[in-house]
Structure 1
Amino acid sequence: MTTELLVLMVLFQMKHMFADYFLQPEFMRSGRDTYLHFGRLAHAAVHATGTAIALAFVPTPLTLLAILAIGDLVIHFHIDWLKARVTDGSGLTPADAGFWRAAGVDQAAHQLTYVAILAVWATA
Structure 2
Amino acid sequence: MPEHVGSLLGLICLFQIKHMFADFYLQTPKMLSGRGEYFHAGRAQHAGVHALGSILAFVIMGAPVGFILIVCALEWIAHFNIDYGKACYSEKKCLSPNMATFWRAMGTDQALHQLTYLAMAAAWVYFVAA
Q: Under a length normalisation based on structure 2, what TM-score does the superposition of the two structures give?
A: 0.93
Query: Which residue of 61, 66, 79 corresponds with 1:63?
Result: 66
Structure 1 position 59, deviation (Å): 2.2
SS in 2 for 1:33: coil
Mean Cα deviation higher: 32-41 or 89-98: 89-98
**Counterpart check, 1:120 vs 2:87:** no
**Preserved CA contact (<8 Å) 1:33 1:89:** no
Query: Which residue of 16, 22, 27 corresponds with 1:13?
Result: 16
CA RMSD of aligned residues (A): 0.6
In percent, how many aligned pairs have the same letter?
Answer: 45
Structure 2: state its 5+ residue gaps. none
Query: Which residue of 29, 34, 37 corresponds with 2:32?
Result: 29
Q: Under a length normalisation based on structure 1, what TM-score does the superposition of the two structures give?
A: 0.98
Letter in 1 for 2:111: A
Which residue of the partner structure matches residue 77 of structure 1? 80
Which residue of the partner structure matches residue 93 of structure 1? 96
Which residue of the partner structure matches residue 42 of structure 2? 39
Tell me the matched-pair count: 124
Structure 1 position 60, deviation (Å): 0.7
**Counterpart check, 1:2 vs 2:1:** no
Structure 1: state its 5+ residue gaps. none
1:3-57: per-residue Cα shift (whole Å, max 9, x none)?
A: 2111111100000000001000111011101000000000000000000000001
- For residues 95 and 88 of structure 1, the distance between their equivalents in structure 2, rounded to whole angstroms, comes to 15
- For residues 95 and 26 of structure 1, the distance between their equivalents in structure 2, rounded to whole angstroms, comes to 21
Moved over 4 A (4+): none
